[in-house]
Amino acid sequence: MTGAGTNHSVEPVSGGPAVILVRPQLAVNIGMCARAMANFGLDDLRLVNPREGWPRTGALRKGAYAAAAGAVHLLEGAKLFDTLEEAIGDLNFVWATTARERGQGKRIEPPAVAMQRTAQAIASGEKHAVMFGPERTGLENDEIALADALITFPVNPAYASLNLAQAVLLTSYEYFRSSLGDMLPFAEADRSPPASREMILSFFEYFEDALEENGFFKPEGKRPVMQRNLRNIFHRMQMTEQDVRTLRGALVRLVEGPRAIGRKEKIAEEQRARAAAERDAGDEDV
C-alpha cells in the first residue's frame, strides 16, 4: 500500500544518520518507523534484538509491511543485531533519545540542534546514528552510556511520552531540514498577472454604476465613504487580471440576467426533449 504523495518517477533522497531501534516491541511500530524514515530520506534501519524477532513471514510481517505504507525497501534492507555494541561498531557518533534526565553528564540537545550537527558531520564523511529505546520503557541507563550525547524533545512536561514512530519522524524531519533546507515538494502555481489600475478602475466604475441604479448609495451623503470601503475591500485582495475578469463576468450576469441560449445549445436542448418524450412513450407501451 502506498500513499497519495508517493511518486516513483523522481529520484529518492537517501543517506542520513542510521536509525537504531533497540528492543522494539511491536512489528507494526517498526513498519511505521520505516515510513517516517522514508518520508525524510533516511535509509539505514538497524534493529537490536526485537521482541518478536524480525517478522519476515506471517502475520507480523504483514502488519509491519502494511504500516510501512510503501517503504518496504527499508524493511527488506534492515540490519538485525543481537547486541547494541554490534549495531554501533562502525559509527563515529551516536545520539540517544530520552524523555527524562539520566544524570550521566552528557550533552543534551533538541532534535533541531542535534541534527544540524549531524548533517554537518555526515557531509564531512562521518557516520552518525540516533538510537531509540523500546516503546514501554525507553533506553536503559547502560545503553544510554554507550551514546555520545542525548536528544530530548521539547514537549508538554505533563505528557512527554512520544510514540516510537513519532520520535523517529521528528528526528528525521529535523535532519532533512538541516541537510536540504525547507525544500518543498511543489511550488505555487503561476498566477495571472496583477491587474493594472486601469482594469481595476474600469471594474469599479461598472460595479458602482450597477449599485447606483439599484439604490445602494443611500443616503447620498455617505456615498464617498461607501465607495472607499468597497474599493478597499478589493484592493486588499491584490487582484489579478483573471480575478477582475471573473468578478466582472459574474456581475454582468447578475445585472443582465441569464445568458441567451445559443443556437447549438437550443438544438441540443430540443434533442434531449425529443429523447425524453420517446422514452416516456415507450414506457406507456409497456
Element (H, E) at 46: strand 45-48
Domain annotation covers residue 5: no
Q: What's the chain's average pLDDT?
A: 85
Residue 13 has pLDDT above 80, yes or no: no
Q: Among 148, 180, 212, which residue terminates a domain?
A: 180
pLDDT band at 1 (very low <50, low <70, confident <90, very high): very low
pLDDT band at 280 (very low <50, low <70, confident <90, very high): low
pTM: predicted TM-score of the whole model, two decimal places: 0.66
What gap in Å lies between CA 189 and CA 242, rounded to an integer?
Answer: 14
Residue 9 has pLDDT above 60, yes or no: no
Summarised one tens digit per residue, pLDDT across range 136-182 is 888 999 999 999 999 999 888 878 778 899 999 999 999 999 988 77
pLDDT value at residue 286: 41
Domain annotation covers residue 286: no
Same domain, 176 and 203: no
pLDDT band at 104 (very low <50, low <70, confident <90, very high): confident
Summarised one tens digit per residue, pLDDT across range 178-228 is 988 777 666 666 678 999 999 999 999 999 999 999 999 998 889 999 999
Range of the domain at 148: 18-180
| 3-class DSSP state of 117 | helix
| 3-class DSSP state of 158 | coil
Q: How many distinct structural domains can be found in the chain?
A: 2
Same domain, 69 and 173: yes
Same domain, 119 and 228: no
Summarised one tens digit per residue, pLDDT across range 46-91 is 999 998 777 666 667 777 878 888 788 888 888 999 999 999 999 9
Domain annotation covers residue 77: yes
- DSSP characters for 59-114? HHHHHHHHHHTT-HHHHHT-EEESSHHHHTTT-SEEEEE-SS---S--EEE-HHHH
pLDDT band at 276 (very low <50, low <70, confident <90, very high): confident
pLDDT value at residue 70: 77
Grid coordinates given for 163:
510514540
pLDDT value at residue 272: 80
Q: Which residues pair with 107 in a beta bridge?
A: 149
Place of cell 441569464: 258
- Residue whose C-alpha is closest to residue 84's, from 21, 6, 172: 21
Domain annotation covers residue 9: no
Residue 109 has pLDDT above 70, yes or no: yes
pLDDT value at residue 283: 53
Q: Among 119, 151, 180, which residue terminates a domain?
A: 180
Same domain, 104 and 219: no
Q: What is the CATH number of the domain that holds 22?
A: 3.40.1280.10
Domain annotation covers residue 283: no
Same domain, 46 and 139: yes
pLDDT value at residue 285: 47
Residue 249 CB partners (closer than 8 Å, separation 6+): none
Look at strands 93-97 and 107-109 and give their pairing.
unpaired
Q: Among 180, 205, 231, which residue terminates a domain?
A: 180
